[in-house]
């Protein structure tokens, strides 16, 4: 049987994992193609042959991050029996991920493309959509809690999801700045202490 094409002389998944770590640590714009090639152990032509270009490599690296690093926190959330426990599990597991030894600190999706210039607008928008998924996942869980009677029917699940997503993004920055896991877990407990405050629908505050 004829062989189709020339076999790659490198492990694509291993190379992608290395690229993920470099993007996570350095950010999209700062990590150059030559630096990525050197870290991945391949030359630039091989990088382009395998991943098309730097942006596509970044998109695949984000996908790998979501399937591996980020999925652990979402699994913890999905396994929790109540909405409150689900949100707490997501936040606490994320702290563990953000401060794990031997890996860049913080969340790759928050850190890697937040400050992209207009020259890389498509990368910035892609990362923005990825970050927005966290809020969507939280809102879905909160909506399910309202439907089940666990939260009041008037609960503003959109703003509640936005609050915890914003908090989580801040935790990522704090982790990147060197905050210890124990300190961040305390902050998570403080954030969860607001759970009993159920935001009113947005229209109720219009007169403020």
Q: How many beta carbons lie within 10 A of that of residue 24, not counting itself?
A: 22
pTM for the model stands at 0.86
For residue range 99-117, what is the model confidence (pLDDT) as tens digits? Answer: 999 999 999 999 887 666 6
CA 67 to CA 189: how far, in whole Å?
A: 27
Query: Is residue 4 in some structural domain?
Result: no
User: Quick one: average pLDDT of 25-47?
Assistant: 92
For residue range 121-158, what is the model confidence (pLDDT) as tens digits? Answer: 788 788 888 888 999 999 999 999 999 999 988 899 99
Query: What is the pLDDT at residue 18?
Result: 96
CA 8 to CA 50: how far, in whole Å?
A: 8
Query: Is residue 206 in some structural domain?
Result: no
User: Quick one: average pLDDT of 24-30?
Assistant: 91
Q: What are the angstrom distances between the C-alpha of 24 and each of 116, 162, 174?
A: 14, 24, 15
Query: What is the pLDDT at residue 121?
Result: 76
Confidence of residue 25 (pLDDT cuts 50, 70, 90): very high
Residues 92, 57, single domain; the answer is no
Query: Is residue 2 in some structural domain?
Result: no
Query: What is the pLDDT at residue 118?
Result: 58
CA 134 to CA 159: how far, in whole Å?
A: 13
Query: What is the pLDDT at residue 139?
Result: 96
Tokens describing residue 55: 């942006």
Query: What is the pLDDT at residue 199?
Result: 60
Residues 26, 112, single domain; the answer is no
| pLDDT cut 70: percent of the chain above it | 87
Residues 157, 115, single domain; the answer is yes
Domain around 49: 12-64
Confidence of residue 5 (pLDDT cuts 50, 70, 90): very low
H-only helix segments in the chain: 12-26, 33-40, 44-51, 54-67, 69-79, 83-98, 108-111, 121-147, 157-176, 181-192
| Count of domains for the chain | 2
């Amino acid at each position: 049987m004829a062989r189709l094409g020339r076999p790659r002389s490198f492990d694509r998944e291993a190379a992608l994992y290395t690229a993920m770590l470099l993007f996570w640590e350095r950010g999209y714009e700062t990590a150059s193609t030559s630096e990525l090639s050197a870290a991945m152990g391949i030359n630039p032509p091989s990088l382009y042959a395998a991943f098309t270009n730097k942006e596509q490599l970044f998109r695949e690296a984000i996908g790998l991050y979501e399937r591996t690093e980020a999925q652990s926190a979402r699994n913890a959330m999905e396994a929790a029996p109540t909405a409150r426990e689900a949100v707490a599990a997501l936040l606490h597991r994320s702290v563990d991920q953000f401060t794990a030894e031997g890996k860049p600190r913080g969340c790759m999706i928050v850190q890697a493309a937040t400050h992209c210039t207009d020259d890389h607008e498509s990368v910035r928008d892609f990362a923005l959509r990825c970050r927005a998924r966290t809020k969507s996942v939280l809102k879905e869980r909160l909506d399910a809690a309202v439907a089940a009677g666990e939260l009041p029917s008037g609960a503003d699940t959109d703003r509640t999801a936005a609050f915890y997503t914003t908090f989580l993004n801040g935790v990522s920055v704090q982790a990147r700045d060197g905050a210890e896991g124990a300190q961040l877990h305390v902050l998570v407990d403080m954030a969860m202490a607001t759970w009993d405050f159920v935001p009113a629908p947005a229209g109720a505050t219009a007169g403020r």
